[in-house]
Structure 1
């Protein structure tokens, strides 16, 4: 009998460090309503901590149901994370059209003048393909995210802007995990609940 080195529970982790514009991919064993099979776009990372938004957890609520004077917005409201879940945040690709927004990637911005966002949507100049709303956000205190990465809860990677803002996010975790290759392709096929295997 010959032994082979096959450990599907360990993988060579990316050498990328967390920083603004990169993503966090939850490993398949991470559980919980917010982070299980989640992908998080990091919007801020510094000595003071980390902020990001889960981009693939939509709700059955539509932003125009909870935002006054917002009309005909067809995209869902996403769950950004467990922190301040009663607050509203938004990512967009409108750039300088929204004063005060912070550039995160070459074409994705965070925040900015909320009244201007509503005005652009109501005029038909912005849609769910260019704006995404979130309830709450994901946050880590200084050093906390690095600790979770060292415990192999997260994989740090990158994603093209068009994939981050895609309308249908139902398969994005699986596809992103598969694209990492190696053992990650196997992980992408793990059942959500190992008891069902």
Structure 2
């Protein structure tokens, strides 16, 4: 959960936002959001675990031609859903760092793919955005749980499994709430 004693400024950039199990907004329920920018003027991130089931090559033959046709596509958020954002990341174990390339042009992504086979590539339709003060307000109302990036998990797990895994790691009590079915009567 959000700790008001935390420095509430750019520290959120490079972290994960995990939707609280009670967050029912259809855009963000059970979401894991990678925060790429957090400034006084607003915040930006992409939802990592809402796959469209598509590959870039299905969206445009241009992506097949530059070698990006098999990159999986995710719903990055409700803002600008027709915009495609390319990203790649990897864990640098020796340094304990997470390296992120965000908002790459297709040719730059193609070059990175050839240079470094350890990079995990994803494409996002749209992004998640918050206006000035909006995200901090949501954090104060406990709509989100802030977590460090777990590069191994975000590369190997998907969907609600990723969200449950990360929630359980951060707060086991919330992890138990994440397992409650949406409609307990259907259980």
- The verdict on a shared fold, with TM-score over 0.5 as the criterion, is yes
Shift in Å at residue 19 of structure 1? 1.3
Match of 1:79 in 2: 75
| Worse overlay, 36-45 or 182-191 | 182-191
Match of 2:100 in 1: 108
> What's the TM-score once normalised by structure 2's chain length?
0.80
More helix by share: 2
1:141 alignment partner, one of 119, 131, 140: 131
Q: Distance in 2 between matches of 1:187 and 1:170?
A: 13
Match of 1:3 in 2: none
**Residues 193 and 152 from structure 1, CA distance in 2 versus in 1: closer, same or farther, beyond 3 angstroms?**
farther
Contact in 2 for aligned 1:75/1:132 (Cα 8 Å): yes
Which string of whole-angstrom CA distances, capped at 9 and with x for unpartnered residues, describes residues 58-105 of structure 1?
0122111113322264342100000000001022138xxxxxxxxxx6
Match of 1:196 in 2: 186
**Residues 28 and 196 from structure 1, CA distance in 2 versus in 1: closer, same or farther, beyond 3 angstroms?**
farther
Contact in 1 for aligned 2:46/2:124 (Cα 8 Å): yes
Aligned pair count reads: 173
Contact in 1 for aligned 2:63/2:106 (Cα 8 Å): no
1:178 alignment partner, one of 168, 175, 178: 168
**Residues 120 and 170 from structure 1, CA distance in 2 versus in 1: closer, same or farther, beyond 3 angstroms?**
same
Q: CA RMSD in A?
A: 2.5
Contact in 1 for aligned 2:98/2:149 (Cα 8 Å): no
Where does structure 1 differ by over 6 angstroms across 4 or more consecutive aligned residues?
none
1:88 alignment partner, one of 68, 84, 88: 84
Q: Distance in 1 between matches of 2:116 and 2:17?
A: 31
Are 1:24 and 2:40 counterparts? no
- Corresponding residue SS for 2:181: coil
Q: Distance in 2 between matches of 1:184 and 1:167?
A: 19
Match of 2:145 in 1: 155
> What's the TM-score once normalised by structure 1's chain length?
0.76
**Residues 152 and 193 from structure 1, CA distance in 2 versus in 1: closer, same or farther, beyond 3 angstroms?**
farther
**Residues 193 and 68 from structure 1, CA distance in 2 versus in 1: closer, same or farther, beyond 3 angstroms?**
same
Higher Rg of the two aligned structures? 1
Match of 1:8 in 2: none
Shift in Å at residue 191 of structure 1? 1.2
Match of 1:33 in 2: 26
1:130 alignment partner, one of 114, 117, 120: 120
